[in-house]
Amino acid sequence: MAETPAAAAPYPKELERSVRLADGALVRLRPIRPDDAPRLIALYDRLSQLTAYQRFFTVMKRLPPDWAQVFATVDYRHRLAIVAERDTPSGVEVIGVGRYEPSDTDDTVEVAFTVEDAWQGRGLGALLLDAVLRAGEARGVRRFRAYVLAENYRMLKLLNGRTEVLERRLDDGVVALLFRPRPAPVA
């Protein structure tokens, strides 16, 4: 008999917070919601070809609406995403996303991150990484996996610097990393 998928957990409001980047810019981090699908499409439209390729390992003219809906609809337990957003004169704009999804191993999830080009190099990727790792840990996740193109030096540096890498494999230009959050420093 097929297992019935677990119902979605309530929206985790405790993951919402405003953060100020080192350059003074104010952004909000919050769990993704199904109504974010159009904002994900708009974010993809603003990505450079390089950034889109580094995230999806391919370049599409547009993020398919059905993909955006799947990405925006999570159960807040086994699948979770945190968006970074900012207010603009035309409304709220998603400028980055960090997420985890189930992997082929029960105690491990796969993570992926996207930060709009204009917001890269400002500390937002590190904030999203930390938010996703902490949210995963709070939900019982102990190990994380990422697949990163070998030439994506910035992402590899971020993961190497902010996590405890347990395993690293290079296969056909893709680095597979298995890692866990670094333990909090003892006071």
What residues have CB less than 8 Å from 175, skipping those under 6 apart?
A: 147, 148, 149, 150, 156, 168, 169
How does residue 109 score in pLDDT terms, banded at 50, 70 and 90? very high
At 8 the pLDDT is 76
Higher pLDDT, 53 or 75: 75
- Compute the average pLDDT of residues 112-140: 93
Q: Over 90: is that where the pLDDT of 54 sits?
A: no
CA dist 86 → 15, 38, 41, 82, 116 (Å): 16, 15, 16, 13, 12
Q: Over 50: is that where the pLDDT of 9 sits?
A: yes
**Neighbour-count burial for 110-121, b at 16+ CB within 10 Å, e otherwise:** bbbbbbbeebbe
At 52 the pLDDT is 73
At 2 the pLDDT is 38
Average pLDDT value for the chain: 89
What residues have CB less than 8 Å from 22, skipping those under 6 apart?
A: 122, 123
How does residue 105 score in pLDDT terms, banded at 50, 70 and 90? confident
At 77 the pLDDT is 92
Where are the domains positioned within the chain? 13-145
Q: Determine the distance from the C-alpha atom of residue 131 to the mean position of all C-alpha atoms in its chain, rounded to a whole number.
A: 9
Q: Can you state the angle between helices 153-162 and 124-138, rounded to 10 degrees?
A: 50
Q: Name the CATH architecture for the domain at 13-145.
A: 3-Layer(aba) Sandwich (3.40)
At 186 the pLDDT is 61
Q: Quick check: pTM over 0.95?
A: no
Taking only the tens place, the pLDDT of each residue in 67-93 is 899 999 999 999 999 999 998 888 899
CA dist 56 → 44, 107, 130 (Å): 11, 24, 21
How far is residue 101's CA from residue 123's CA, in Å, rounded to a whole number?
Answer: 23
Q: Over 90: is that where the pLDDT of 116 sits?
A: yes
Beta bridge partners of 102: 109
Q: Determine the distance from the C-alpha atom of residue 3 to the mean position of all C-alpha atoms in its chain, rounded to a whole number.
A: 27
CA dist 24 → 20, 27, 104, 183 (Å): 6, 10, 40, 28
At 174 the pLDDT is 92
Taking only the tens place, the pLDDT of each residue in 152-166 is 999 999 999 999 999
Count Cβ atoms below 10 Å from residue 80 Cβ, excluding itself: 25
